[in-house]
Amino acid sequence: MQSETREEFAAAHLRSAVEEHYRQAKEISRDIRLDLETLLEKVAAVLRKRFPQQLNRRELDGAATQFLDSLRWEELFLTTACASGDGAAWKAFHVRYHRVIQQAARYCTENASEAQELSESMMSDLFLPISASSGKKTSKIGQYDGTGSLEGWIKVVVTRMSIDQIRRSRKQVSLEDLAMEPESRASTQEEVGPSIGMDIPAASKMFLASLNHAMNLLSAQERLILSLYYLKDLSLKEIGRLIKVHESTVSRTVDRLKKQVRKSVERHLRDHFRVRAAEVPQLIEVAHLEADIDLKNMLAE
């Protein structure tokens, strides 16, 4: 599909869809000022990101129309106005979502003082200007694209900020609980290390590289769950409340991810480092003698 045809589609279909939703949002939020062209530009950018591949006219028409109907227009209108610097929009956002931010921050911190600090940082960071890939100045609030609830997006952002704070305050974290279930360090060092004569530093480097590869295979949602469970020590029930799923679903997900990470690590050790299958479990145990794994960096990427 030629770029001219895509532009024709945007002019004929995108504008009419945005105009309709723009009028509805304006009726709900009369005090908020946002011009149609700004919202149109925002939605066009979301569509370009959603449909980067070349589609024929009929495919693009159907897919884009369905996608536009699924957007959270009122929330997208509000955040786009916030990103444009409208004061009324900022006040409306604060009224509607400040409590959401505080609750999410409380889940991600040890005490009320830390939660207050995190929520205040969140409110500031959302509206601070940042440079976009296009070179234009935008803000973090402008990264919301309307494809999910604004409340859910806020919770993910708060959690990522919390992880960043942990990363700055503590350098390393052990990965024993997450990926593997070795013997105690004392017994492993005494019984496994000397018997196989493996280079412990080399084993640790291979293990770390394979673990990093396994983490990169996880989705953002999966890394978020592991972050909450292993870094923030939230209970399964607390995580369920935060991401709005049942506790049993979180439990099954954590168990699945532990097995998935283990299998990914083993497969990468075999395929990439050519470690023999019989030696993989021993290498993993030996790696724990020295490996000091920065799990926070892996989960926060």
Q: Where in the chain are the domains?
A: 3-166, 172-300
* Residue 44, burial from CB neighbour count under 10 angstroms (0-12, 13-18, 19+): middle
Q: Find the helix or strand (DSSP H, E) in which 200 lies.
A: helix 200-216
pTM tops 0.85, yes or no:
no
**Could you count the other beta carbons within 10 Å of the beta carbon of residue 172?**
12
Tokens 């926070």 locate to: 296
**What is the model's pLDDT at position 150?**
92
Tokens of 195: 């018997």
Radius of gyration of the chain (CA): 24
| Coil, strand or helix at 130 | strand
Give helix 73-83 / helix 150-169 axis angle, nearest 10°. 50
Tokens of 31: 């005090």
Residues in the chain predicted with pLDDT less than 70, given as ranges, are 1-13, 52-62, 129-138, 165-198, 288-301
**What is the model's pLDDT at position 182?**
40
**What is the model's pLDDT at position 290?**
58
Over the stretch 186-214, which tens digit does the pLDDT of each residue have? 333 333 333 344 577 788 888 888 988 89
Q: Are 253 and 230 in contact (CB under 8 A)?
A: no
